[in-house]
Structure 1
Amino acid sequence: MSVTSQSFQERTQYLAAVDRLAASHVLHGSESLCKLLRYLADHSLQNPGVPVKEYQIATEVLGRPSDFDPHLDSTIRVQAGRLRAKLGEYYSSEGESDPVLVELPKGSYTLSFHTRTIPTKASSAELREEKQTPNRTWQMLLNWSAAVVGLSLLLAAGMALLVVRWENRNRAASVMARNSAPSAYRTFWKGFVSGPAEPWVVFSNAAFVGRPETGMRYRNPAQDSNAVILDHYTGVGEVLAVHELDRAFHLLNREVRVKRGSLFSLDDAKNNNLIFVGSPAENLSLRDIPMNEQFVFQRLTSGARKGDLVIANLHAGAGEPEYFIGTPTNLPMNEDYALVALIRGLNPTESVLMLAGTSTMGTQAAVEYVCHEDSLTQLLSRLNVPPNGDLKPFEVVLHVKVARGVPVESEIVALRSEGVK
């Protein structure tokens, strides 16, 4: 209840409770919350029954100007919510045995003080009496204990049987759900859903320097060794790609684990199936894993397109270009190129799939290509993989048409595979 009147002793007790709160580990370093707590406590004790307004708190505690408008600025409500949460945290930990409970009811800025009754230790007379009674009840407790143990064993056996049946039923349901997915999905993703662990989806997040408000650029190790690295940005295509992969694996009744490239380690790669989203230009973890042998991402070192990212055709066939290169970066994008490549993992029993474009739009297109039934069917046909057959390592280059920042059409323009001559 809120304080309406209090004796000098009660007031002293309440203020001591506030002091303990302000000095607690929970509020350590939260100067603004401590200031708010003391202000609300003083107001509640000096003006019992008189509510305090947001405007008062803003101008008298937080130093807001006189034109402060609580309808436009939610700072006070946010601070009150934080204080309310801290009070709950305190009384569930270090303040568990405090004799006074301080509360800030929701929708109010008036503190409530409650005196709590703390259980006391039993008197010596009660302890002597307790020592005399066990002998009379000991045999009864033994009988009850035997009955409880027997019943517990029966319950444990029953629960074990139920768990086994539930796991078998769940496993059967999982297999049925997976079998209900389109045939092309089951064939292409078979190696990624049949293992004991969920595959890793590793999306690119390149290292940048600079600030969003003044401009950012890729980090150059040669000249930015002391610059602050920003590694928490990724492309729009990568975001949509992860969502698309999650949808595809949901159809296969399988979860995926997602991690950004800067946090990925070779330990993660040893015994897991991996799906890399984004090229080595931004997904830097790809540089530590042996990948493609036919098509690789490179930056041009000369010519009018110097510095642009391309897919280099290391063993160009008849009529194939040396490089696959999209729209110049200074023009609106209308085409891109992407690579879909499957190789064996560091552990030969695992697989690594790279889905990447020379831009974020190409990356999105590569993922969509292997997550849509019609394009998957076309790819499996080009790879000569029969239904439920096994995929062999392959590398495929896609030409991607882009309209208004969205990949709208993809087609295979180059293919290398152990199963295709």
Structure 2
Amino acid sequence: MSVTRPRVTEKEQYFSEIDRLVNSQVLHGSEQLCKLLRYLGEHALEKPGSPLKEYQIATEVFGRPADFDPQLDSTIRVQAGRLRVKLAEYYSTEGADDPVIVELPKGTYLPSFHVRSSARVVALPRPQPSAPRKTRFGAIAILSGLLLVAVAAIIYLLALGNSRPSTSHDASPAVFAKFWKSYLNSQDEPWVIFSNGAFVGRPETGMRYFDAAHDSRDVILDHYTGVGEVLAVHALDQVFTGLNRQLRVKRGSLVSLDDVKNADVIFVGSPAENLTLRDIPGTTKFFFRTLDSGSRKGDLAIINLQPQSGEPGYFIGTPSNLHLEEDYSIIALVPGMNPAKSEMILAGTTTLGTEAAVEFVCQRDSLEKLIPRLRTSSDGTVEPFEAVLRVRVRRGVPVESEIVALRNGR
């Protein structure tokens, strides 16, 4: 007896592909991008040929008020741009053999769907840690274990800073007030959001990063952070104390978009572990990505979207199976979810790179070299920029940093 299976329609294939994208590692933690993708995909498939406007997306997907003005708020354009990057990343990695390709062409909010002429289905084995990776991972796990008290340490350092007698702006070098000017005038205190990775396992028996494909979310440990993040929060607190400005501090896994949508924010740590960064407008010139091919496959790099003369296509530090001697970081000031607010991103490919990025913007000498290379508005406020920092590391300590790529403006 033969059984005839119902034929899968193209429309069903397309919806299945959207489901694969939403559940992928590339979009893991990017709730807003997943919501946007589902909305755009459903509109394109259920109402083919019907155009989509920014206003419609803003009010129906992102909950913007009825007076939303796309001329003043670029959120939708920024999010669409981020979605395009994520789609390209997905199809160059885990979606390389998917039967359908989803694209979001520039100039439109309607996705296009393409069926591959011949799709090859490959069963991906569960990744097994190699000996070299275990070496670096073991070091990270040990550091993480030692930093079980990281949050308590941060609270202690902040309490210590807040217990100091109030100082005037004159107590801090003028270069700090100039660089951080956009963070000093708001009525609300700025947020510092530090990264904390999702781990599974136990410190005493070994830990590894959470794998969404194989691990239950019920066993996630999300109260660990890195050495660099702890020292970074302390350094920022010292600078802002000198500027008579208190900071609010939260770990990334506890932050909601409501916390940051109308606030000035400083993100400490890359989107790989600071997941909130995946759901808000971020960098457009440089971004973090795990390499999926070549001799450095599996290592985190900073992608250079538009390399200038003499610049590489990506920046990458010491291989993960060797002792860390070089790292790279991003230092970026971009508009926040509310374009009137500021978002600072200070993140390295390792925790030591993150530490170096924060040190760079908390030291007088480095800021005095950086600020002349940045654009400022008529009132002296630093305008948006993105920079890549090369970091030399000796014996687990960042000892030298220099800007190797810089872009002004959006």
The TM-score with structure 1 as length reference comes to 0.57
- 1:304 and 2:295 aligned: yes
SS for the counterpart of 1:279 is: coil
Q: Tell me if structure 2 keeps the 8 A contact 1:335–1:402.
A: yes
Aligned to 2:393: 402
Provide the residue aligned with 1:344 in structure 2.
335
After TM superposition, list the pairs within 5 Å mapping 1:367-386 onto structure 2.
367-385=358-376
Shift of 1:226: 5.1
Deviation at 1:391, TM superposition (A): 1.1
Aligned match of 1:262? 253
Aligned mates of 1:362, 1:387 — CA distance in 2: 33
Q: Equivalent residue of 1:185, what SS?
A: helix
SS at match of 2:211: coil
Q: Alignment identity in percent?
A: 61
Matched to 2:355, the amino acid is Q
**8 Å Cα contact 1:341-1:353 kept in structure 2:** yes
3-state SS, counterpart of residue 248 of structure 1 = helix
Residues 229, 178 of structure 1: CA spacing in aligned structure 2 closer, same or farther, 3 A cutoff? same
User: Of the candidates 180, 184, 202, which is equivalent to residue 193 of structure 1?
Assistant: 184
Give 1:418 deviation, angstroms: 2.1
- Could you tell me which runs of 5 or more consecutive residues in structure 1 were left unpaired when the two chains were aligned: 1-172
What is the CA–CA distance in structure 1 between the aligned matches of 2:170 and 2:277, rounded to whole Å?
32
Q: Secondary structure at the match of 1:223?
A: coil
Contact map agreement 2:375 2:383 (CA 8 A) in 1: no
Aligned ranges 1:265-304 → 2 under 5 Å:
265-304=256-295
Whole-Å separation in 2 of the counterparts to 1:344 and 1:385 = 14
Q: Distance in 1 between matches of 2:379 and 2:322?
A: 44
Aligned letter for 1:267? D
Return closer, same or farther for 1:388/1:177 CA change in 2, 3 Å cut-off: farther
Superposed displacement of residue 386, structure 1: 8.8
| C-alpha distance in structure 1 between counterparts of 2:192 and 2:339, whole Å | 19
Corresponding residue for residue 245 of structure 1? 236
Q: What is the identity, as a one-letter code, of the residue corresponding to 1:316?
A: P
Q: Distance in 1 between matches of 2:377 and 2:408?
A: 15
Separation (CA, whole Å) in 1 of partners of 2:218 and 2:374: 46
The equivalences for 1:146-161 within 5 A come to none
Structure-1 separation of matches of 2:396 and 2:378: 35
What is the deviation of 1:268?
0.6
* Cα shift at 1:225: 3.0
- Which structure has the larger Rg? 1
- Which among 353, 361, 364 is matched to residue 362 of structure 1? 353
Post-superposition Cα deviations, 1:53-104, rounded to whole Å, max 9, x if no partner, equal xxxxxxxxxxxxxxxxxxxxxxxxxxxxxxxxxxxxxxxxxxxxxxxxxxxx
Amino acid aligned to 1:257: R
Task: Map residues 102-181 of structure 1 onto 2, 5 A cutoff.
Answer: 177-181=168-172
Work out which of the residue numbers 207, 221, 224 in structure 1 matches 2:212.
221
Provide the C-alpha distance between the structure 2 equivalents of 1:264 and 1:227, rounded to a whole number of angstroms.
Answer: 19
Is the contact made by 1:204 and 1:277 (CA closer than 8 Å) also made in structure 2?
yes
Q: Is the 8 Å Cα contact of residues 184 and 373 (structure 1) preserved in structure 2? A: yes
1:317 and 2:301 correspond: no
TM-aligned CA deviation for residue 181 of structure 1: 2.0
The answer (yes or no) to whether the contact 1:184–1:387 under 8 Å persists in 2 is: no
Corresponding residue for residue 122 of structure 1: none
Higher relative contact order (CA 8 A, sep 6+): 2
Quick one: distance in 2 between partners of 1:178 and 1:197? 18
CA distance in 1, matches of 2:299, 2:265: 27
Are 1:183 and 1:388, in contact at CA under 8 Å, matched by a contact in 2?
Answer: no
Give the SS at the match of 2:168.
helix
> Taking structure 1 as reference, are residues 393 and 223 closer, same or farther at Cα in structure 2, changes over 3 Å only?
same
Distance 1:269 1:254, change over 3 A: same
How far is 1:399 from its partner?
0.4
Distance 1:332 1:386 in 2: 43
SS in 2 for 1:414: strand
Structure-2 separation of matches of 1:399 and 1:357: 10
SS across alignment from 2:293: coil
> Match of 1:53?
none
CA contact (8 A) 1:179 1:186 kept: no
Does structure 1 retain, via aligned residues, the 8 Å contact 2:288–2:301? yes
Q: What is the Cα deviation at residue 253 of structure 1?
A: 1.1
Instruction: Note the C-alpha offset of 1:384.
Output: 4.4
Note the aligned Cα RMSD (angstroms).
Answer: 1.8
Give the Å deviation of 1:277: 0.2
CA drift at 1:387 = 11
Structure 1 segments (4+ residues) deviating >4 Å: 384-388
**2:224 is matched with which residue: 226, 233, 244?**
233
The aligned amino acid for 2:188 is: A
Give a deviation string over 1:123-171, Cα, whole Å, max 9, x none: xxxxxxxxxxxxxxxxxxxxxxxxxxxxxxxxxxxxxxxxxxxxxxxxx
TM-score by length of 2: 0.58
Structure 2 spans left out of the alignment, 5+ residues: 1-164
Q: Secondary structure at the match of 1:238?
A: helix
